Every structure is written in structure tokens, then in C-alpha cells.
Amino acid sequence: MADPAADSPELAADLAANDTIFGRILRGEIPCDPVHADGRCLAFRDVAPQAPVHILVIPRRRLVNLAEAQPEDADLLGHLLLVAAQVARGQGLTAFRTVINSGADAGQTVFHLHVHVIGGRPLAWPPG
């Protein structure tokens, strides 16, 4: 996989300062099972899947969570959702759930925004 940070000093600095597990994955310090990669995001299989398909889509530039997103993040947020749909289709899913936990009380445990793509089995509502 090419290193998008090599072309962007701002992205490289952000990546170097990102002390989350996702920062370590993006730097290549922790391996992952990627299903999509581009200059703006990485999608990979969750190591503790909650369904037969459980993929995380993370931006390469760190946003802590959705609550901290700004208007200038709109293009990136849209891209993350389009990639989520693309990877779901790539996994053969015709029905799936996307989840973005924003804040500890909402279940966020890694403070780097990420989109969960979950499917491959019936999903009940409401969730936990």
C-alpha cells in the first residue's frame, strides 16, 4: 500500500501525533486486514467482529469523533460513508448497518472517528 502521508506534510504530522491504536495501524506499527485504502481513508476488518462482516472505515486524518467535526470536514465525512457502502457491497452485503459512536457514553473506545460496517446476519433494533 502506498503511503499517502508521503505526499502531505500536514497528514504526516497528524499521523505522527496520533497515539491511538488507529494511528498505530495507519503508521504500519500494528497489522490489519485491509479491504480498502485510498488517500483519505483505510477500511479493515475488526479484530473483534460483532457479526460475520464487521469492517472499520477510518480517516487517515484524525478526527476525534463526529461531535468535533467541522463544516470543512463535510467532504471527508461523505467520503467515509461512500466507502462504507462500497466495502459493504464488496462483501456481498445488500443490507448492513453503519455505526459511528461519538463519545465515551455512546460506546466510543478509540478516540479517532471510525465508521463500523456491520452485516451478514439479521440485526435487531434497537441495538444495545
Query: Which one of 3.30.360.10, 3.40.190.100, 3.10.110.10, 3.30.428.10 gives the CATH number of domain 4-119?
Result: 3.30.428.10
Domain extents in the chain: 4-119
Looking at residue 1, what is its pLDDT?
Answer: 46
Which pairing describes strands 53-59 and 41-45: parallel, antiparallel, or unpaired? antiparallel
Residues forming beta bridges with residue 56, ordered by sequence position: 44, 116
The pLDDT profile of the chain, 128 residues, written as one tens digit per residue, is 455 555 666 656 555 667 899 999 999 999 999 999 999 999 999 999 999 999 999 999 999 999 999 999 999 999 999 999 999 999 999 999 999 999 999 999 999 999 999 999 999 998 86
Catalytic (active site) residue 116: no
Which residue out of 54, 112, 114, 116 is catalytically annotated? 114
